[in-house]
Amino acid sequence: MEEHLLNNLPAINLKRRSRPKESLIKGFLFFCGFFSIFITLAIVYELAKEALLFFQDPDVTLWGFLTGLTWQPKIGEFGVIPLVTATLVTTAIAMMVAIPLGLAVAIYLSEYASERVRGTIKPVMEVLAGIPTVVYGFFALTFITPVLRSIFGSDVVQIYNTASAGLAMGILILPLIASMTEDALSAVPRSLREGGYSLGATKLEVAVKIVVPAAISGISAAIILGISRAIGETMIVAIAAGAGPNLTLNPFEAAETMTGYMVRISGGDLSYDSIDYNSIFAIGLLLFIVTFILNLISQRIVRHFREVYE
């Protein structure tokens, strides 16, 4: 009887059905991915092509460019260390502001805030992220710098300084780190929190000793992306940090960053294909390499610390 029923069953067509709309969407998504890769390669190609003109100059060497302590193209000094140092100082100051504040805001939103409070704070942070960076630059110059000069003295804090630029950059990066960190904390399973509460842990202990370590991969990625954002910031440092290379670790002195130099040179009256003009592409290529390495480190950290919860 069973054999008879099986023999009388209609044949099932397992052949893949044609879905034109799905194929169209798949092709569009593939095109978007390919286009983004193409744009990235085109940017790298243009930077490398123009930077090669800079390094072909007889006065320029790659070793001297990477290790030289003086940046004065007009006299044949092409050491990028002063520009890199100013970039690192402003980035360090920015991250000293953005990391603790961003982590604190994220913990509060994820573990303590009610839905009403969260619905108020998150839009405010989005407003901070949407403010043009040129506004932050003038805010640093006209508000943060006078405050620093009133605290530490006008003879200590120069009008243009990397400290005010770094503080403004920290405020700019704060929403990015806070938002990404809050997403990472919210993704931690509720069962881990309940397990901590069942053992008698307080809410703060659960947040700091259980939730934060469980979300360390997302937090690390947020921090590294924030560093990349700080290194590539342009208008704040161009307005508030200074307009001349200066090899110093003093945050109260004026110093020009890599992006600040690129803005000053590209907006000047230099002729195309001059040594000064070509130098901005070499610095741009160095910036690209640094941010690319940071992104690779971010992905490696995420893969290393990622927790898989059943």
Q: Indicate if the pLDDT at residue 310 is higher than 60.
A: no
Question: How much is the average pLDDT of 88-105?
Answer: 92
By CB atoms closer than 10 A (0-12, 13-18, 19+), residue 133 is: middle
Which has the minimum average pLDDT: 15-19, 165-169, 182-186, 270-274? 15-19
Q: Indicate if the pLDDT at residue 262 is higher than 50.
A: yes
What's the rounded Cα separation, in Å, for the pair 123 and 241?
29
Query: For residue 93, what pLDDT is reported?
Result: 94
Q: Indicate if the pLDDT at residue 126 is higher than 90.
A: no
C-beta separation of 134 from 239 below 8 A: yes
Query: For residue 99, what pLDDT is reported?
Result: 92
Question: How much is the average pLDDT of 246-262?
Answer: 88
Question: How much is the average pLDDT of 27-47?
Answer: 88
pLDDT band at 15 (very low <50, low <70, confident <90, very high): low
Question: How much is the average pLDDT of 259-286?
Answer: 80
Which residue do the tokens 């000793």 mark?
A: 209
Tens digit of each residue's pLDDT (9 = 90 or more) over 136-175: 999 999 999 999 999 998 888 889 999 999 999 999 999 8
pLDDT band at 4 (very low <50, low <70, confident <90, very high): low
pTM: 0.84
The residue ranking higher by pLDDT, 173 or 126, is 173
Of the candidates 37, 38, 40, 68, which has an alpha carbon nearest to the alpha carbon of residue 279? 68
Which has the minimum average pLDDT: 2-16, 64-78, 188-202, 229-243? 2-16
Which has the minimum average pLDDT: 10-14, 238-242, 264-268? 10-14
Q: Give me the domains of the chain, ranges plus CATH numbers.
A: 84-275+297-305 (1.10.3720.10)
Neighbours of 192 (CB within 10 A): 16
pLDDT band at 1 (very low <50, low <70, confident <90, very high): low
What percent of the chain stands above pLDDT 70?
Answer: 90
β-strand partners of 78: 71
Average pLDDT, the chain: 83
Q: Indicate if the pLDDT at residue 108 is higher than 50.
A: yes
